[in-house]
């Protein structure tokens, strides 16, 4: 196992009164596999509008060996809220972030595993295609959704949020599975086409414009969409759920989404 630790240097992101975010998308197990310690330290990362050697911003320590990207583990330490794009487009290996992370964590990831021991800011797991993303705290808005202009969000993989999730999670979701242990804010599963979302807490206006897939809400639904049709009561794991079909706002033919609400 090869372990690479990036510890954010204190105050490294300060520029005057501002804290300028750093983009760590080059620091994934698959991209760093095969690189020597010096090469890793001099990897260029964007900090604001200029590129810097990663060593200027992080203390870097490298240990062990790997015969493939799956055997590479990358660890981020320090105050990570201004560290963006952790695990961006990653395809293999493991990343652990010790603390709350900045935007786009695990976005466009295809494989491997990311664990965030804290909360993740907006766009975590955005357009994710595969792999596993575990967020121990809360997730921000647009979790597992898509970037502006796209019409397909998450297509595969597994995401677990142990806290609450923000607005518009899983917008245009087409595949994969998301579990939110807490509540989901407004419009979870907006424009959803496929895949599955389990919300163990409450949800606000879930399933708008849904044309496929399944949303299960175990808590309360606040502001139920007025364009869903009640079909029947079903039993899942010994619990009764009301089953709705929608969204009829997009027309009957396309309304193939399923919304299950615990009664």
Partner 1 sequence: MAVYTDVLCPFCGCICDDIVVEVGEDGKITKVKGACAIGRSKIMGHDRMESPAIREDGELRDCSYDEAIKRAAEILADARRPLLYGWSSTVCETDRAGVELAVEIGAIIDNTASVCHGPSILAIQDVGLPSCTLGQIRNRADIVIYWGSNPVFAHPNHMKRYSYLSKGRFTPGGKKDRKMVVVDVRETKSAKLADLFVKVRPGGDFLVFSALRAILRGHEDVVPDEVAGVEKKDLLSLAEMIKNANFIITFFGMGVTHSGARHNNIANAIEFTRAAHLHTKATIMPMRGHYNVNGFNQVCTWLLGYPFSIDLSQGYPWYNPGETGAVDVLVHGECDAALIISSDPASHFPADAVRHLARIPVIQIDPYPNPTTEFADVVIPSAICGVEAEGSVYRMDSVPLRVRKIVDSKFMADEEIIRRILEEVRAIKEKEGE
Binding residues for partner 1 (CB under 8 A): 15-21, 23, 46-50, 82, 103, 122-123, 141-142, 147-149, 151, 168, 186-187, 190, 205, 208-209, 223, 225-229, 247-252
Closer to partner 1 by CB, 20 or 134: give it. Answer: 20
Q: Which is nearer to partner 1, 24 or 69 (CB)?
A: 24
Q: How far is the CB of 247 from partner 1 (least distance, A)?
A: 7
Report the candidate in 30, 31, 25 with the shortest Cα–Cα distance to residue 51: 25
Rounded to an integer, what distance in angstroms lies between the CA atom of residue 183 and that of residue 44?
A: 39
Smallest gap from Cβ 1 to partner 1, in A, equals 32
Give me the least distance between CB of 48 and partner 1, in Å please. 3
Distances (CA, A) of 261 to 43, 47, 102, 220, 257: 49, 45, 32, 8, 13
Residue 36 or 251 with smaller CB distance to partner 1: 251
Query: Among residues 132 and 209, whose Cβ is nearest to partner 1?
Result: 209
Residue 242 C-beta: closest distance to partner 1, Å: 14
Given a contact cutoff of 8 angstroms between Cβ atoms, the answer to whether 239 and 222 are in contact is no
d(CA 16, CA 70): 40
The CA distance from 31 to 177, in Å, is 26
* Token pair listed for 22: 């750093």
Indicate left, alpha or beta for 188 from its phi (over 0: left) and psi (-120 to 50: alpha).
beta
Report, in Å, the least distance between residue 261 CB and partner 1.
14
Structure tokens at 110: 């295809």
Q: How far is the CB of 19 from partner 1 (least distance, A)?
A: 5
CB of 69 or CB of 168, closer to partner 1: 168
- Residue 83's closest CA among 144, 130, 20? 20
What distance in Å separates the CA atoms of residue 93 and residue 99, rounded to the nearest whole number? 19
Closest to partner 1 by CB, 38 vs 229, is 229
């Amino acid at each position: 196992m090869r372990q690479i630790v990036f510890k954010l240097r204190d105050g490294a992101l300060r520029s005057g009164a501002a804290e300028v975010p750093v983009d760590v998308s080059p620091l994934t197990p698959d991209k760093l596999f095969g690189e020597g310690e010096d090469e890793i330290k001099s990897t260029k990362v964007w900090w604001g509008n200029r590129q810097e050697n990663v060593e200027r911003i992080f203390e870097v320590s490298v240990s062990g060996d790997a015969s493939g990207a799956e055997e590479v583990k990358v660890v981020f330490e320090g105050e990570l809220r201004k560290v963006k794009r952790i695990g961006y487009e990653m395809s293999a290996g493991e990343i652990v972030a010790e603390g709350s992370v900045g935007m786009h964590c695990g976005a466009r990831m295809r494989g491997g595993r990311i664990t965030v021991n804290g909360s993740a800011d907006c766009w975590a797991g955005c357009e994710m295609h595969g792999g596993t993303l575990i967020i121990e705290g809360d997730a921000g808005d647009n979790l597992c959704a898509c970037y502006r202009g796209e019409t397909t969000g998450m297509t595969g993989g597994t995401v677990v949020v142990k806290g609450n999730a923000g607005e518009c999670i899983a917008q245009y979701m087409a595949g994969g599975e998301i579990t939110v242990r807490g509540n989901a804010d407004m419009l979870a599963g907006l424009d959803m086409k496929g895949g599955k979302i389990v919300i163990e807490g409450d949800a606000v206006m879930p399933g708008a414009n849904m044309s496929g897939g399944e949303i299960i809400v175990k808590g309360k639904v606040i502001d139920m969409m007025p364009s869903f049709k009640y079909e029947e009561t079903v039993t899942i794991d010994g619990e009764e759920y009301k089953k709705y079909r929608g969204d009829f706002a997009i027309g009957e033919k396309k309304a193939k989404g399923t919304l299950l609400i615990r009664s």
